[in-house]
Amino acid sequence: MPSPRIVAVCTVHALVEDPGTIGVTAIDKRPVTGAVKVGPYGVRADVQADRKHHGGLDKALYAYAQEDAEHWAAELGREVPPGFFGENLRTEGIDVNDARIGEIWRIGGGEGGDATGPGGEGVEVQVTMPRTPCATFARWIGGEHQRGWVRRFSDARRLGPYLRVLRGGRITAGDPITVIERPDGPSIVDAYRAPATARA
């Protein structure tokens, strides 16, 4: 397995009309190049269209694993490029679904580069909760896979974590991920409670 790292940093490409309560969704995210600033509400120039359900300080960033994306690419019969699931961070080499609630990661830091946080120490983020799939996500997947997508995604337990930003800075694709604190307690999958629509 490769060393844990960031494959891509993604921000909103365009707001998409959605029949949900907000009327638009910011799920359409694409990779950006170079060093990107990260603050309390996530990646600079990103948009959180619905902070009540998909944003705010405890959901400042969403991480999804390349390994899980490859699983879905095979299942869906299509490419699943970075940002396709609305994630800000596409990761590699780290089991994000085994991350513990309260776990702290350093992104960047150490040797190499101008794309690290203040003092070259890297950005620090904390795992807060798993992603809960919703109807907006299902509509974004679309096509023959839209119906039953919430349950399918839930059952696969390839959820990805939301992250709180403890220390901001700059990150870029290729930055290493280091787990600097791993508390006892449930993983995000252990803590997950599938939505009622997924259990029906």
Assign residue 81 the CATH number of its domain.
2.40.33.20
Query: Mean pLDDT for the chain?
Result: 87
The total number of structural domains in the chain stands at 1
The answer on pLDDT for 116 being more than 60 is no
> HEC string of 8-37?
EEEEECCCEECCCCCCEECCCEEEECCCEE
Residue 195: CA count within 13 A, CB half-sphere: 16
Contacts of 144 (CB under 8 A, 6+ apart): none
- Confidence (pLDDT) at 49: 52
Contacts of 68 (CB under 8 A, 6+ apart): 96, 97, 158, 160
Write the pLDDT tens digit of every residue in 74-93: 999 999 999 999 999 999 99
Percent of the chain past pLDDT 90, that is, above it, reads 68
Write the pLDDT tens digit of every residue in 152-161: 999 999 999 9
The answer on pLDDT for 13 being more than 90 is no
CA angle 160, 172, 29 (to 5 degrees): 50
- Residue-number span of the structural domain to which 91 is assigned: 5-199
Higher pLDDT, 71 or 121: 71
Mean pLDDT along residues 10-24:
69
